[in-house]
Amino acid sequence: MKILCIYGCGGTGREIADLSHRIGNGKRSFLSMIILPAEKLMKLMFIHLKKLLNSLRRTIWSLSLLLANPL
Amino acid sequence: MEFIVAVGEPSIRKALYDKLASFKLNYIKIIDPAFILSRFSSVAKGTIIHTGVLATCNVHIGEGCLINTRAVIGHDVTIGDYSVVSPNVTIGGNVNIGPGCYLGSGAIIRNGINIGANSIIGMGAVVLKDVKPNSVMVGNPARFLRENIDKRVFR
């Protein structure tokens, strides 16, 4: 078993992972590992942080509404 | 452990190879099993050759290149390091492609043409004349659009 590190998680990365597995059907067997580039990771983290903050803001807003107008 | 850079942008590919050079990684070439390489041809390390690529004799593909599906490469062609050949590109005989070039989908390069380093050939462009380094060429017949100052294909 060989480990193949693929730097890049976009279309090209996934294409290469697929190709390496198809080659693996023959003589070599591959375990592909896609490495997430740093800038992509930052971007993802930022998006998720934004999502997290957004949901937190919504929760606080609904809570404040609930507290202001109790049932 | 084997390593390969899978980024479509030639300038980023080059930058990554330069950055990772000190780690002395074991770069491999990934070639589709259906691709038949002539014994007079060569493919350098870090190169990826996809399904349906056809290359005839005396074809030399440099380091870290990406040759995409159904590209047709004629005789005596040299493709420089870190260049990207998109799907359905047709390259005639005796063509010399410099390092860091990007050939868009369906581009056609006439035989005997020299394409300078870091040039971009647009989708479906038909290149009939030599291309200067750092040029962006588009259309049929291909005309000079602008200089590739920042050496980036995708923005």
Domain map (residue ranges) of chain A: 1-35, 38-71
pLDDT-derived band at A13, boundaries 50, 70, 90:
confident
Q: Please judge whether B33 and A12 are an interchain contact, meaning their C-beta atoms are less than 8 angstroms apart.
A: no
Q: Which helix (H) or strand (E) holds B145?
A: strand B143-147
Whether the ω angle into residue B133 lies within 30 degrees of 0, i.e. cis, is no
- Cα nearest neighbour of B16 on chain A: A7
Q: What pLDDT does B154 receive?
A: 66
pLDDT over 70 at A30, yes or no: no
Mean per-residue pLDDT for B142-155? 78
Angle at B100 between CA B145 and CA A37, to 5 degrees: 110
In this predicted model, what pLDDT tens digit does every residue of B37-94 receive, in sequence order?
Answer: 888 999 999 899 999 999 999 999 999 999 999 999 999 999 999 999 999 999 999 9
**Do B70 and B49 contact (CB within 8 A), yes or no?**
no
Taking the C-alpha atoms of residue B120 and residue B146, their distance in angstroms, rounded to an integer, is 10
- Tell me the nearest-neighbour CA distance from A57 into chain B, angstroms: 33
Highest mean pLDDT: which of A2-11, A21-30, A38-47, B52-61?
B52-61
pLDDT over 80 at A71, yes or no: no
One of B13, B50, B75, B151 is an active-site residue; which one? B75
pLDDT over 80 at B109, yes or no: yes
Mean pLDDT, chain B, rounded, equals: 90
Q: Please judge whether A22 and B28 are an interchain contact, meaning their C-beta atoms are less than 8 angstroms apart.
A: no
Mean per-residue pLDDT for A4-32? 77
Alpha-carbon torsion (A37, A39, A40, A45), positive or negative: positive
Residue-range domains of chain B with CATH: 10-144 (2.160.10.10)
User: What is the ipTM, given to two decimal places?
Assistant: 0.79
Mean pLDDT, chain A, rounded, equals: 76
pLDDT over 80 at B153, yes or no: no
With a pLDDT cut of 90, the percent of chain B lying above it is 66
Q: What pLDDT does B49 receive?
A: 93
With a pLDDT cut of 90, the percent of chain A lying above it is 0
Higher pLDDT, A55 or B43: B43
Q: Best mutation site among B11, B12, B24, B30 for testing chain A: the one with the most A CBs within 10 Å? A: B30
Taking the C-alpha atoms of residue A61 and residue A69, their distance in angstroms, rounded to an integer, is 12
pLDDT over 70 at A26, yes or no: no
Taking the C-alpha atoms of residue B140 and residue B107, their distance in angstroms, rounded to an integer, is 9
pLDDT over 60 at A27, yes or no: no
- Tell me the nearest-neighbour CA distance from B68 into chain A, angstroms: 10
Count Cβ atoms below 10 Å from residue A38 Cβ, excluding itself: 8
> Which of A3, A4, A12 minimises the CB distance to B66?
A12
Higher pLDDT, B74 or B28: B74
Instruction: Sheet containing B114-115: give its strands across.
Output: B42-43, B60-61, B78-79, B96-97, B114-115
Instruction: Note if B50 is an active site residue.
Output: no
